[in-house]
Structure 1
């Protein structure tokens, strides 16, 4: 027996536990957390990732070669795609193969396998980095030659919404804020490494908006969006109730690294130019690095996002405060030996 329960929206909205769930990117930060949560509820959960995990019924594969794993997804009621190119430095070709064609492959597998609902995990990066205060789901997605990760996320959303509009399968899109918590590579592990090396740098005095959402709150929101009828065909922003600044958030990493004060800053124009040079240099030497102009643009975001739609339709309410989420994150970093000071 388990004490796990489905999340209940503020208005009493309670989705049913799905009989079976298939998750792509099932070994990733969000994918693994979803897998554990649904399994604890008694759902049959299967998945796919770059590396197999037989213990959790996860097979090896990727979005570009669905024939390798499509059979494993047959018979699942709910299909959740968390797999993506999680990088601000990948080439356009990879984004197109994975975030556009790969998402269409996922839809094809879900439809052929009899899934009733398809959930695409997108990102607020789809809005770009210059959007109005309290931007909602009706705001423009970013287009252009820059901010590749966001452009790719916006393109993936188009693929999913087109499938829903065609009546192929019921679809829902979730745009998480900046997801952190134990296990987070993007917002805990990598920034801490950069802080230890003294390389963590923020543009514009660290005044850029950071929209944290603790992973447990995100799971609640995803499960509400995936299980409620009123979520079909919609996009939802899922984040915390209030933002912070990049300086305030990453000052924790600076402290965890044993450094005084806060990360160094410089004007955005200078930071973008410097990281462009570093990025080109790393490309020549074939060094993988997330030090790119797009990273600086992400850290210079100009507004917060609105979660009012998710609150209204889903009853979504984040429960973990930033201070509590950071406390749990720091505890995990210490237990795993990543903080020793």
Structure 2
């Protein structure tokens, strides 16, 4: 991978998260100084603790960094509007301000393929409209965050680009490895409509490769890139691994959407009353019922992005990590 001249210093928000940790490790392996912020400080990793919406606690940590990568966000499909608005939207505005004051040369923003909602057609690309409305709140917030980033770029405040990752999985993934495994063990991993909805996985190493290509490419300036594994599979196939790891036979259990959606709505309401947080909500059901994958030709043509890890290999590595870490 030819990345040209690398920055001396890189700053990453959400540095303690799944993607943030992997980016920190990669840049350090390339000889860069890497700093970060997250809700919980980790001085050994040069991560300062702070809140995105109170940047005075962490802004100074970004001084002198040429590259700013913003991964921090609400990582949930079941949060309320205010949480998305404060962290995933207003937090981006604060991150842009910090990066500009710090003199960063490029700002890389992590959005999501759900910025296009759950009803995009098979083969949708970066030109497909962002989702609006009451459904897919996570995606609506991501679309709004993209507007802020593109506006900052258009105003000449910062050189920006946007990454829309597919469904990122691999060793350490909470969303698509640990949580589904926990639900499968509890018998609560239910898929709508026979699990025939489309899942769009990307292995973490491939996502990091694509991010580095975008972060250091002149052609990426002002652009949005979908980065996924280019291997669409059914949810039944993807989560069948978790079912097997949980010691259960056959496919994950399923319910018709006509039953699953109102049931998820009821469970979400009960969880809200009890002050409990999990990912049982109508938007999760909708996400598991998507109808297609994406056109990744822009990232291929602009960046030379080529995912290397097949789903079979990625799941083999994930299973090995689960065993090595004593979780299987």
Asked whether the 8 Å contact 2:232–2:292 carries over to 1, the reply is no
Equivalent of residue 196 in structure 1, options 185, 194, 202: 185
Equivalent residue, structure 2, for 1:86: 75
Aligned residue number for residue 337 of structure 1: 326
In the alignment, structure 1 residue 250 sits paired with structure 2 residue 245: no
* CA–CA distance in structure 2, aligned partners of residues 30 and 306 of structure 1: 23
Give the conservation status (yes or no) of the 8 Å contact 1:15–1:224: no
How big is the shift at 1:157? 0.5
| Residues in 2 aligned to 1:126 and 1:207: alpha-carbon distance in whole angstroms | 22
1:241 has 2:230 as partner: yes
1:266 and 1:233 map into 2 onto residues whose CA distance is 42
Determine if the alignment matches structure 1 residue 137 to structure 2 residue 137.
Answer: no
The residue aligned with 2:36 is 47
> CA separation in 1, counterparts of 2:199 and 2:49?
34
- CA shift, 1:269, in A, is 2.3
1:216 matches 2:205: yes
Q: In structure 2, how many angstroms separate the alpha carbons of the residues matched to 1:185 and 1:62?
A: 21
Q: What is the rounded CA distance, in whole Å, between the counterparts of 2:255 and 2:171 in structure 1?
A: 30
Indicate which of 19, 23, 45 corresponds to 2:8.
19
Q: Which residue of 1 aligns with 2:143?
A: 154
TM-score by length of 1: 0.95
C-alpha distance in 2 between matches for 1:249 and 1:287 = 27
Tell me the equivalent position of 1:279.
Answer: 268
Q: Which residue of 2 aligns with 1:36?
A: 25
Looking at structure 2, the residues matched to 141 and 268 of structure 1 have their Cα atoms a distance apart, in angstroms, of 24
- Aligned residue for 1:284, secondary structure, equals helix
Q: Which residue of 1 aligns with 2:301?
A: 312
> Which residue number in structure 1 is paired with residue 168 of structure 2?
179
Native 8 Å contact 2:230 2:293 kept in 1 = no
CA distance in 2, matches of 1:244, 1:203: 15
In 1, the alpha carbon distance for the partners of 2:254 and 2:198 equals: 15
1:269 aligns with 2:258: yes
1:155 match: secondary structure: helix
The number of residue pairs the alignment matches comes to 328
Q: Please give the TM-score of this superposition, normalised by the length of structure 2.
A: 0.99
Does 1:64 pair with 2:53? Answer: yes
Provide Cα deviations, 1:199-255, integer angstroms capped at 9, x if missing partner. 000011111110110000000000000001000000000001221110000000000
Q: Which 4+ runs in 1 deviate beyond 6 A?
A: none
- For 1:118-133, list aligned pairs within 5 A: 118-133=107-122
Corresponding position of 1:11: none
Rounded to whole Å, the distance in 2 between the matches of 1:91 and 1:64 is: 17
Corresponding residue for residue 3 of structure 1: none
Give the Cα separation in 2 of the matches to 1:293 and 1:318.
Answer: 31
The answer to whether the Cα contact below 8 Å between 1:73 and 1:110 also exists between their aligned partners in 2 is yes
